[in-house]
Amino acid sequence: MRFELMTPEERFTLIENTLKYAAELHAQHAEDMLKLSHRNEELQELHKGIVVAIGKLAEHQRATGEKLRALIETVDRIIRDRGTPHS
């Protein structure tokens, strides 16, 4: 039915229902935004944990690299010494 052809009571009911629906949508939107905010906080905490873990991994990789270089130098020295004839 066209708005112009409605009785004042029908218009009032339509407007009232529309406002009620808009209020419900607004309440749902506010609830959704709160949930998103909580998710964002959770993701930020996870991100911090990942950054710390990556930092620790980098430290371990550096230490492993140093040990590997020392092992390679030791093995290389042993191989070179075996190749040298002893008098």
2 falls in which pLDDT band (50, 70, 90)?
A: confident
Q: How does the average pLDDT of the chain come out, rounded? A: 94
Task: Please count the CA atoms within 13 angstroms of the CA of 50 that sit on its side-chain side.
Answer: 6
Q: What is the pLDDT of residues 22-55, one digit of tens each?
A: 999 999 999 999 999 999 999 999 999 999 999 9
How long, in residues, is the chain?
87
User: How far apart, in Å, do the first and last CA atoms of the chain sit?
Assistant: 114
Amino acid found at 36: L
What pTM was computed for the model?
0.59
pLDDT higher than 60, residue 87: no
Task: Please count the CA atoms within 13 angstroms of the CA of 35 that sit on its side-chain side.
Answer: 6
User: Are residues 10 and 1 in contact, defined by beta-carbon separation less than 8 angstroms?
Assistant: yes
SS3 78: helix
